[in-house]
Structure 1
Amino acid sequence: MSNGFLRATLAPLAARMVVIASIAGAILIALAAWALRDQIYQTFQDPGEPFQTYTPPPAPDYRQASAWFERGDLSDPEMAAVFYVHGTTFPGGSHWNAPLDDVRANTSIETSDLPNFAAPYRSAGTLFIPRYRQAALYAFMNNREDGITARTFAARDVRDAFDAFVSAIGDDRPFIVAGTGQGGLHALNVLMRRVAGDGTLRRRLVAAYLIETTVPLDLFETRLDGITPCAQPEAVRCIVAYASAGPDEDERIRILTERTASWRPNGGLDFVEGRGLLCVNPILGRRVTDYAPARLHRGGVAADGFESGVAPAPLPAQTGAQCVDGILMTEEPRSAALRRPGRLAENYRLPPYNLFYEDLRLDAQARLASWRDIAEREANAVPDLAPPEEIEDAPVRPIPDRAD
């Protein structure tokens, strides 16, 4: 067999092997890129500058209407006031904290966050929704000191907004505190730093709704003294909180229970692992571990892309839910519109729907009615009588005879 024949036979085979190897290499690279997609996404969102040398965007002035997405109408005395804090919509890249005028971040708030997560409270109260320099999504995808600092920086804006809110609503109106995702973290900080230690404000609190937010149980023994988990649907001055996951979302469960940071009793942020998490089942409206079947589910809404104030009809009986080890475990909804999309960094994002929209809407209405009943009874209650005073017998002294 001649060398020429061998070369003629082997050359096409070698070429095919090169093609096969190239295809296999491309497949391996694609698989690696898919497996590491969140890490790659992180790399592109890194501001590339330590927070210590970073110049934050200009601060909001909450005396100005421009510092609010909504600043509620207080003309109806029967309406509560709702302080709502939106979630994360700014990915990062150029800033640790979002500029107030970032168009893409604000559009996402107005067309997704507010229609899905703020709208349920409209039937109970008038909404006050502050703009704030939210921490970038990148700050939540790792627990670097810079990311922690970006979160505490955003929390200061929200506390300032709450102070302006309290000044605006007067001295008697009941109020609701609500937040979703990052907004829930900052709303929790408001409860710790502004409400729990102020007896007058605490009495006016209808309830707090911290949705897709991890709330460590140790806070109720310390900084949340006087505010309790909502143990019953009619309870007031309490917190409804949950972070949800599906049974096959192992990575999300790990992030929620191990890698998420929340407020410490003595201030600052720390991991929630080992601290126990509050889970109030939104279908049942109470803190229990009972399973809530889908037939009790009042309805989810997929309002992504809707203008604030406009929402589709709720889709009921979509999912069952049960609190398991502090996480709200949900069944796969029947409607594809209420299932998590496969976006980059999805485990750190708010979904483009609210699976418990109608449950939360009715819950807020019921707790406001309950608060009014309780407040009326408290106002009409007869104050406790002072303890009786002991009176000692007076000594009897004879009156001298004037004749003597």
Structure 2
Amino acid sequence: MRISVFYRCISVVLVLLALSGLSACLQVIKPAKQFAAYQPPTIPDYAQPDNWAAQPTRRDSADVVPRGTTLRDNQQQALADVFYVHPTTFFKRESWNADLADAALNRFTDNSTIRKQATVFNAAARVYAPRYRQATLFSFFEDNTTNGQDALNLAYSDVKAAFQYYLAHYNQGRPIIIASHSQGTFHATRLLHEFFDNDAKLRKQLVVAYLIGFKVKADEYQTLRPCEDSTQTGCYVGWNSVEWGNEYPPFDGGIATNPLTWTRDTSAAASRLNLGGVPLNFNRIDTAVVDAKVHNGLLWIHPPKPLGYPRFLLPGQPQLRHSFHIADYSLFYLNLRRNAQTRVQAYVSQSAPRP
């Protein structure tokens, strides 16, 4: 495959602004061999700082704020931690799973998802974001073999190991936010099953889980429940942004929280409740950028007028062109930031010893 063709297809997947050539692109990013035929990348050692995209004790992309704003990084004074699992940033066909030694991939991850999603939480919590051997994008489109699931299982084994290391060496009993997007939410949902749902002690440390950009059921867990308002703790929220009036079959029927009201009812919330979105170039705040309404497990929005909030055009599936998956965080950046602070404050108040 010519390099120019590969990168043209990858740019379509990343920038997601055109419909042409998506079926061909899907084949371009399909690994050439079966999962079992590849030698997996080296298992990460989470005692090594390089295997973390963000830690609060060093300078990294989770420390920044949108340019030209008065927002501030407050990690050094924060009373809680956030364990953030980033979405898919690996699209190549050389392997089913990313190699943490890929410096170019790590830079891309840091400059995209860490900078534009994980920074939402740096006012409320210390940010811990592991690098992990993420499954390549095609893993979510592999229906005929177990290759995709095998790749996702390997990726989850890293997320689990990173969380175990975090608990043993960094947490020290502090309140925890779990936050994620897309593939990250696929793994974070499983993480909550294994570590929080049936562990009352650890569950007491959970401020909230932001399980955004993937289908999570309202009855996903035996004990954990969806949040019903803006201050509830020990619960989870999530949404998948779709153009108003459209369905989105992969995520229909999942949990949908309206980030403008933090409720799950179906009342339309006006754009004036949107404190501000931050576009992909991370250089401004757009107030009242979109409205929002819960519908059948989706979050309906009217398309934003400012540039920088792209649609998500799934390769080979132009019928799903109404999704704003890429912008799930950026459209509600300031609402998310404020809510994380609010829930941490509520958690601390509830946990304070009474006279």
Q: TM-score range by the shorter chain?
A: 0.7 to 0.9
Structure 2 counterpart of 1:254, one-letter code: P
1:87-124 CA-partner distances (Å, limit 9, x unpaired)? 10111311101111224432221111112211110000
Does residue 283 (structure 1) correspond to residue 260 (structure 2)? The answer is yes
Structure 1 counterpart of 2:87, one-letter code: G
1:119-143 CA-partner distances (Å, limit 9, x unpaired)? 1100001110100000101111333
Uncovered stretches (5+) of structure 2, i.e. residues with no partner = 1-17, 59-74
User: Does the 8 Å contact 1:112/1:352 carry over to 2?
Assistant: no
Structure 2 counterpart of 1:280, one-letter code: T
Does residue 316 (structure 1) correspond to residue 287 (structure 2)? The answer is yes
Structure 1 counterpart of 2:354, one-letter code: N
Structure-2 separation of matches of 1:238 and 1:319: 25
Matches for 1:45-56 after TM superposition, within 5 Å:
45-56=29-40
* Aligned-partner SS, 1:229: coil
Structure 2 counterpart of 1:242, one-letter code: W
Corresponding position of 1:336: 307
* Aligned-partner SS, 1:300: coil
Structure-2 separation of matches of 1:349 and 1:100: 25
Structure-2 separation of matches of 1:348 and 1:338: 8
* Aligned-partner SS, 1:148: helix
Structure-2 separation of matches of 1:162 and 1:334: 39
Aligned length: 316
Uncovered stretches (5+) of structure 1, i.e. residues with no partner = 1-33, 258-275, 305-310, 382-404
* Aligned-partner SS, 2:96: coil
Which one of the candidate residues 219, 232, 237 is aligned to 2:234?
A: 237
Corresponding position of 1:202: 203
1:251-299 CA-partner distances (Å, limit 9, x unpaired)? xx12333xxxxxxxxxxxxxxxxxx311111111122221111111111
- 4+ runs deviating over 6 angstroms: 345-349
Task: Work out which structure has the larger RCO, using CA pairs closer than 8 Å and 6 or more positions apart in sequence.
Answer: 2
Matches for 1:93-242 after TM superposition, within 5 Å:
93-144=93-144, 145-220=146-221, 222=222, 225=223, 227-242=224-239
* Aligned-partner SS, 1:334: coil
Structure-1 separation of matches of 2:324 and 2:233: 30
Does residue 247 (structure 1) correspond to residue 244 (structure 2)? The answer is yes
Structure-1 separation of matches of 2:244 and 2:19: 20
Structure-1 separation of matches of 2:257 and 2:334: 15
Corresponding position of 2:11: none
Quote how far apart the aligned CAs of 1:244 are: 1.3
User: Does the 8 Å contact 2:251/2:297 carry over to 1?
Assistant: no
Structure-2 separation of matches of 1:73 and 1:103: 21
Structure-1 separation of matches of 2:214 and 2:313: 21
Quote how far apart the aligned CAs of 1:341 are: 7.0
Tell me the percent identity: 30
- RMSD over aligned CA atoms reads 2.5
User: Does the 8 Å contact 2:240/2:328 carry over to 1?
Assistant: no
Does residue 43 (structure 1) correspond to residue 17 (structure 2)? The answer is no
Cα 1:134–1:65 change in 2 (3 A) is same
* Aligned-partner SS, 1:107: helix
Corresponding position of 2:80: 80
Cα 1:348–1:369 change in 2 (3 A) is closer
Structure-2 separation of matches of 1:341 and 1:288: 25
* Aligned-partner SS, 2:149: helix
Cα 1:64–1:240 change in 2 (3 A) is same
Does residue 365 (structure 1) correspond to residue 341 (structure 2)? The answer is yes
Structure 1 counterpart of 2:37, one-letter code: T
User: Does the 8 Å contact 2:97/2:135 carry over to 1?
Assistant: yes
Structure-2 separation of matches of 1:230 and 1:178: 14
* Aligned-partner SS, 1:337: coil
Corresponding position of 2:8: none
Corresponding position of 1:375: 351
1:143-193 CA-partner distances (Å, limit 9, x unpaired)? 342112211211111011111111123443111110111111111111111
Structure-1 separation of matches of 2:293 and 2:337: 19
1:233-263 CA-partner distances (Å, limit 9, x unpaired)? 110011111111113665xx12333xxxxxx
For normalisation by structure 1, the TM-score amounts to 0.73
Quote how far apart the aligned CAs of 1:59 are: 1.0
User: Does the 8 Å contact 1:77/1:173 carry over to 2?
Assistant: no
Corresponding position of 1:269: none
* Aligned-partner SS, 2:119: helix
Corresponding position of 2:14: none
Which one of the candidate residues 266, 273, 278 is aligned to 1:301?
A: 278
Cα 1:157–1:173 change in 2 (3 A) is same
Quote how far apart the aligned CAs of 1:48 are: 1.8
